[in-house]
Chain A
Amino acid sequence: MSVIDWSVLIFTLLFIIFYGVWKSRGTKNIEGYLLADRQLPWYQVGFSVMATQASAITFLSAPGQAYSDGLRFVQFYFGLPLAMIVICIAFIPVFQRLNVYTAYEYLEKRFDNKTRSLTAFLFLLQRGLSTGITIYAPAIILSTILGVGIAYTTLFMGGAVILYTVYGGTKAVSYTQMLQMTIIFAGLFFAGYMVVHLLPKEVGFVDALHIAGKMGKMNAIDTKFDWNNRYNLWSGIIGGFFLQLSYFGTDQSQVGRYLTGKSIAQSRIGLVMNGLIKIPMQFLILLIGTLVFAFYQFHTPPVFFNKVEVESIRNSEYSRQYDSLEHAYAIQHEHKKKQINNYVLALHQNDARKQQMAGAALKSSQTESDTIRAKTLQLVRKNTGNEKTNDTNYVFLSFVMEYLPVGLVGLLIAIIFLAAMGSTASGLNSLASTTIVDFYKRFHKREESEAYYLAASRWATVLWGVFCVVVAFFASRLGDNLIEVVNILGSFFYGTILGIFLVAFWMKNVKGTAVFYAALLTEVFVMTAWYFDAMAFLWLNVLGCLMLMLFAWCIQRMINYNK
């Protein structure tokens, strides 16, 4: 990276950290620290909710996913606006009126202490692991740029977030997130513009989409229903709805964001804003990945984007095999280039017959390229000994580093850091809230001063920060497509937790003991379904939620019958 890029990166990061610390000075009580005194306006709630969900993984993995898999990942978010509606109607009024600090506090009021503690524990387990992964993702980038070990970059990344989150609490998190999202939107806009700008002169934006489409990358909607297809219209709307409802309605990292709204209306409008913007935003991020794919049709891409793995395989017994695959890929790419030029020519001539013929030739050429890339992936996996190794997270980063102009590289790297900092900060803040409110204050020290709990919250943030950094050290073993790892991890618990809340809201006859045992039973079923690969992970949320409601109802009937 050039000096200018480094300057842009360092200035942006320092500015955000100091801004957060400055805006959050003077926090004196636990309500100020954990909920920003419940005084934030709707736009700040909205930005905060969006920044919490949009981690660095979003900006690293999503374009890479579009490069190899097309736009179909956008369907994952179709359930989100519907989930926002249910949360606005059912969740926000209850949480706001009861003046709770965490979502799980409500469960003790409705059920009993053991149900609250179990749910809070499941949240801590899931969020603690997920936050560790959100630290790991940008740590890879810094590691690649500086050429130092991931351990050092993980420590640096975790340390920076811990610093301002511990000092400023929720206020620091919310103020920095608003600024982070503004910079992120600006940076993405420039990145999208640059990809189109870097295409050959005779190839326009629409031509690029036609090329990507011909090679199966414009597959935004798949209407075919399939239990084992991760992303189609139905899994997105139904499975996505349950996942998003659970995430936004019961995950304290999100509940803690909209509890900061100064009224029910302000919290609701913040979530409506998220419901309106999220899908277009995700689509644009994926579209950038698709455009990067189109760009690489005119510039020879590496057969495998992760340079560290390439270096490793070059020094291994598979070196010769790799070289021959790389050579074959380059030759195939040159051959494909001719097909692309024919196709572009046919597009410009508006000749349907030529377009069809050139398109078919292009498709078969792409299939050959894909086959070589798949063989390379198998070889790399053989070398790493990890069946989940892939290069999705490195596609966008490689493009940024190699082709974007000085200054913009620094800004885009900063964006990835900012995104990571935003979601990690929310994660740490919510982990601290739940630990202090649902466990420490509930079981250990019930009557202490505000200053005491404020200090305890800060210590809890530090301890969770350290835990997440430790998790980050082991994150590379979880697989390379981090966005899916986080979502799969969430799907283990989200359905169960959502079921508990839905029973609380709408099944008034069911009591705490029934829900508690139903939750334990449901977790066994969800884990079993995942272990035997019975369905795509999004459906685990539906399964968990519905099974919990069914089990709770049955167990309650049995309890009533025995009485």
Chain B
Amino acid sequence: MQDEKPPFLNTWTNVYLLLVIVLLLVILALYFITQYFL
């Protein structure tokens, strides 16, 4: 079984980086929501 390239973003490192960035953005957004509606 071959370790293929991902279908987007060229490398798997970029795909994982995308996940981390999205996670950080989600946490920031939720932090903003928490503070805004306090």
> Is A269 a contact of B3 with CB atoms below 8 Å?
no
Distance from B11 Cβ to chain A, minimum over Cβ atoms (Å): 12
Given contacts A88-B16, A264-B4, contact A221 B30 (CB under 8 A): yes
Which A202-218 residues have a C-beta within 8 angstroms of B? 209-210, 212-214, 218
Check if A160 is an interface residue, CB within 8 A of chain B.
no
Interface hits, A539-558 → B, CB 8 Å: none
Q: With A and B bound together, what is the CA distance between A82 and B20 in angstroms?
A: 7
Contact A272 B19, beta carbon cutoff 8 Å: yes
Q: Are B4 and A81 in contact (CB under 8 A)?
A: no
Any B CB within 8 A of the CB of A268: yes
- Given contact pairs A85-B20, A218-B38, A265 touches B31 in the complex (Cβ within 8 A): no
Distance (whole angstroms) from the CB of B12 to the closest CB of chain A: 7
Q: Is the CB of B23 within 8 A of A279?
A: yes
- Closest CB in chain B relative to A70 CB, distance in Å: 9
In the complex with contacts A220-B31, A263-B2, A269-B7, A213-B37 CB distance below 8 A: yes
A221 touches B12 (CB 8 A): no
Query: Which of chain A's residues have a CB closer than 8 A to the CB of B19?
Result: 81-82, 84-85, 272, 275-276
In this complex, what residue of A is CB-closest to B17? A85
CA A388 to CA B1, docked complex, whole Å? 50
Given that A221-B34, A265-B7 are contacting pairs, would A88 and B12 also be in contact in the complex, using a CB cutoff of 8 Å? Answer: yes
| B: contact size bracket | 20 to 34
CA distance A84 to B16 in the complex (A): 9
List the A side residues contacting B20 at CB < 8 Å: 81-82, 85
Interface residues on A, range: 20 to 34
Interface string of A260-289 (1 = CB under 8 A from B): 000111001100100110011001000000
| B34 / chain A contacts, CB cutoff of 8 Å | 71, 218-221
Please, which residues of chain B bring their CB within 8 A of the CB of A93?
3
**Nearest CB of chain B from residue A373's CB, rounded to whole Å:** 22
- Expressed in whole angstroms, the minimum distance between the Cβ of A98 and any Cβ of chain B is 10
| Bitwise interface map of A from 525 to 542 toward B, beta carbon under 8 Å scored 1, else 0 | 000000000000000000
* Nearest CB of B to A346, in Å: 15
- Which residues of chain B are within 8 angstroms of A283 by Cβ–Cβ distance? 26, 30
Complex CA gap A138/B31 in Å reads: 33
With A220-B33, A221-B30: A96-B1 Cβ-Cβ less than 8 Å: yes
A18-30 Cβ-contact flags toward B at 8 Å (1 or 0): 0000000000000
Question: Closest Cβ of chain A: how far from B9's Cβ, in Å?
Answer: 10
Report the bound CA distance from A82 to B24 in whole Å.
Answer: 11
Tell me, in angstroms, the Cα distance from A36 to B26 when the chains sit together.
34
Shortest Cβ distance from residue B29 to the other chain A in the assembled complex, whole angstroms:
9
Question: A233 an interface residue at 8 Å Cβ cutoff?
Answer: yes
Contact across chains for A269 and B22 when beta carbons are under 8 A apart: no
Contact A264 to B3, CB < 8 A, known contacts A88-B12, A218-B38, A276-B22? yes
Using an 8 Å CB-CB cutoff, how does the interface string of A483-494 with B read, 1 for contact, 0 for none?
000000000000
Q: Provide the bound-state CA to CA distance between A221 and B23, in Å.
A: 13
Task: Tell me, rounded to whole Å, the shortest Cβ–Cβ distance linking A68 to chain B.
Answer: 17
In the complex, A223 Cα to B18 Cα: how many Å? 24
Please tell me if A563 contacts chain B, counting CB pairs below 8 Å.
no
Chain A residues with Cβ under 8 A from B7's Cβ? 265, 269
Q: Tell me, in angstroms, the Cα distance from A17 to B9 when the chains sit together.
A: 38
How many angstroms between the C-alpha atoms of A223 and B35 in the bound complex?
11
Closest-by-CB residue of A relative to B7 is A269
In the complex, chain B residues whose CB is within 8 Å of the CB of A265 = 3-7
Interchain CA distance A85-B23 in the complex, whole Å: 12
Cα A276 to Cα B21 in complex, Å, equals 10
Which residues of chain B are within 8 angstroms of A220 by Cβ–Cβ distance? 30-31, 33-34
A297 shortest CB reach to chain B, Å: 14
Cβ-defined partner of B37 (8 Å) among A74, A81, A212, A223: A212
CB distance from B34 to the nearest CB of A (A): 5
Q: How far is the CA of A265 from the CA of B8 in the complex (A)?
A: 11
A78 at the interface (CB under 8 A from B): yes
CB of A97 within 8 Å of the partner chain: yes
Beyond contacts A213-B37, A264-B3: 9 other A-B pairs, Cβ-Cβ < 8 A, are A78-B23, A88-B12, A213-B38, A220-B34, A221-B31, A268-B15, A272-B19, A275-B23, A279-B23
Q: What are 16 A-B interface contacts by the 8 Å CB criterion?
A: A71-B34, A84-B19, A210-B37, A213-B36, A218-B38, A221-B27, A221-B30, A221-B34, A263-B1, A264-B2, A268-B6, A268-B15, A269-B6, A272-B18, A276-B19, A280-B26
Minimum-distance CB pairs A-B, first 9? A213-B37, A218-B37, A220-B30, A265-B4, A81-B23, A221-B31, A85-B16, A221-B34, A81-B19
Residues of B within 8 A of A (CB): 1-7, 12, 15-16, 18-20, 22-23, 26-27, 30-31, 33-34, 36-38
